[in-house]
């Protein structure tokens, strides 16, 4: 079956999402091409079907939010909160992403080939994020589960108030946030990083990555710390 083409200069985002939610499965469509996104918000949000969606151009906020099953490829840049609360499936961004990439994502894979700015992976709950470039400040803030892999550098306060998510960084770390600490890479870490790189189609070696995880000193209230961590 030929890919279905939808042009956002002629179709509204609401109509597009309605098609993706309700009419795609019945028509047996496997590939959807979206043209002229022009920075619009909420494109391909809430998909729950194993379809490939190719977006040709720059998208705005929330592209691929709450995704289940679908593979979404964006051939451009994206705005804030790409793949917010992703559940499964994958979202690949060929360009750069703005703030809050995959915020609170539960599952699935998010790949940003370029840079991802502030608060990448904030409060992530089990998804995997791979960033080919660098991440901005406060990335991995309060991240609870899953892996954030950064092939470039990490900005200030990386992994502040981390729970059980693990962050791997290949480049420089500007500074660690409260309770985040660098730990030795184990064999299991090398295996995880190797798999993530493979899934993201990035040819790098796991041996160049550092592991950042929670020191778990914030898990229990310490009255004697006087709020200094």
Binding site for other proteins (CB under 8 A): 38-41, 57-58, 60-61, 77, 79-80, 96, 98-99, 117-118, 136-138
Give min distance, CB of 118 to other proteins, in A.
5
Residue 52: count of CB within 10 angstroms of its CB: 15
Give min distance, CB of 142 to other proteins, in A.
15
Give min distance, CB of 26 to other proteins, in A.
31
Indicate the residue among 37 and 89 with the shorter CB distance to other proteins: 37
Strand partners, 145: 125
How far apart (Å, rounded) are the C-alpha atoms in residues 111 and 175? 23
Indicate the residue among 115 and 179 with the shorter CB distance to other proteins: 115
Indicate the residue among 60 and 121 with the shorter CB distance to other proteins: 60
User: Count of H helices and E strands in the chain?
Assistant: 3, 11
Indicate the residue among 85 and 117 with the shorter CB distance to other proteins: 117
How far apart (Å, rounded) are the C-alpha atoms in residues 167 and 150? 8
Residue 8: count of CB within 10 angstroms of its CB: 20
**174: part of which helix (H) or strand (E)?**
none
Give min distance, CB of 84 to other proteins, in A.
15
């Amino acid at each position: 079956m030929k890919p279905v083409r939808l042009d956002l200069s002629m179709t509204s985002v609401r109509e597009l999402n309605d098609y993706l939610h309700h009419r795609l499965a019945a028509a047996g469509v496997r590939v959807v091409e979206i043209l002229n996104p022009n920075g619009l918000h909420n494109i391909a949000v809430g998909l729950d079907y194993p379809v490939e969606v190719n977006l040709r151009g720059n998208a705005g906020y929330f592209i691929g939010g709450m995704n289940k099953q679908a593979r979404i490829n964006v051939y451009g840049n994206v705005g804030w909160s790409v793949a917010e609360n992703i559940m499964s499936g994958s979202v690949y961004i060929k360009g750069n992403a703005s703030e809050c990439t995959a915020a609170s994502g539960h599952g699935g894979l998010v790949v940003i080939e370029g840079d991802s700015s502030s608060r990448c992976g904030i409060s992530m709950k089990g998804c995997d994020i791979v960033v080919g470039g660098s991440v901005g400040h406060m990335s991995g803030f309060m991240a609870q589960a899953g892996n954030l892999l950064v092939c470039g550098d990490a900005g200030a306060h990386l992994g502040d108030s981390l729970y059980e998510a693990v962050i791997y960084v290949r480049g420089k770390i500007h500074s660690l946030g409260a309770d985040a600490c660098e730990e030795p890479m184990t064999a299991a870490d090398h295996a995880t990083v190797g798999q993530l790189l493979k899934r993201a189609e990035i040819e790098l070696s796991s041996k160049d990555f550092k592991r950042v995880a929670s020191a778990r000193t914030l898990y229990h209230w310490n009255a004697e710390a006087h709020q200094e961590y």
